[in-house]
A and B are shown apart, each in its own frame.
Chain A
Amino acid sequence: MSHIVTVAAKATDPAALAAACRRLKLPPPQTETVTFFDRSVRTGSTVRPPGFVYPIVCDTDSGDLYHDTYEGRWGSEAFVGRLLQAYAVEKTKLQAKARGHRCTETALADGSVRLTVTAGAAGFGGTPQYLSAGEAA
């Protein structure tokens, strides 16, 4: 390995968000303005998981998610994480496709998803990233 980066996922891509909803078998996101219980108002792409009183609002400008699950009584807190997970997976796959890379998906025992990205014909970034002994000779 070379380096490890931790990324705080931000849901900024409407296409990836729509793909995440398909992945989770949810209706496609709608653009709505939602007034939460505390009277805060959020406008964005709304996702309505089953059992949620208020939808999850995705501000695709900032990438932030807004929700009110009332400590789990009005919706599963864990599902918010699953939505973010599905978004990150689908965003990675879209990014790989756009760059001509191959992307394979593996489900891990702890519920995580591992995506392995390998370069297409143009390599990573369009320039050679690695020289094998044969190529260097």
Chain B
Amino acid sequence: MSPRIEITVTPAGETSVETKSFAGPSCRTASQPYEEALGTTSSERLTPEYHAAVPVAQSVEQRA
């Protein structure tokens, strides 16, 4: 699945920004402009995918 940013806004105006299908810290670069445009970041949680290596290594394994 292609990388995407999902932004959910509740009826009370509470907003969460979630990145999906990014590998490594590139998700931060992608979502930062949206986070800054929307307001002030109040919390952040890293997921296991954040710590994953970029999938280049995987492709090398596949070719070997």
The residues of A with any CB-CB pair to B shorter than 8 Å are 1-10, 12-13, 63, 78, 80-85, 87-89, 91-92, 95, 99, 108, 110-119, 124-125, 127, 129-134, 136-137
* Chain A to chain B contacts (Cβ below 8 Å), 21 pairs: A1-B21, A1-B49, A3-B31, A5-B43, A5-B45, A6-B42, A6-B43, A7-B16, A8-B42, A9-B13, A13-B37, A85-B10, A88-B15, A92-B37, A95-B33, A117-B6, A124-B26, A130-B22, A130-B54, A131-B56, A136-B56
B residues neighboring A (CB under 8 Å): 2-24, 26-31, 33-35, 37-47, 49-50, 54-56, 58-60, 62-63
CB-based contact B39/A81 at 8 Å: no
How many Å lie between the Cα of A81 and that of B9 in the bound state? 10
The answer for the CA separation of A25 and B50 in the assembled complex, in Å, is 41
Query: A81 to B2, alpha carbons, bound, how many Å?
Result: 32
Question: Is A117 within 8 A of B9, CB to CB?
Answer: no
Known: A2-B20, A91-B37, A113-B9. A130 touches B3 (CB 8 A): yes
Q: Decide if B55 touches A115 in the complex (CB within 8 Å).
A: no
Q: Which residues of A contact B9 (CB under 8 A)?
A: 9, 85, 88-89, 92, 112-115
The 6 A-B pairs at the shortest CB distance, nearest first, are namely A84-B13, A124-B30, A2-B27, A10-B39, A133-B59, A81-B12
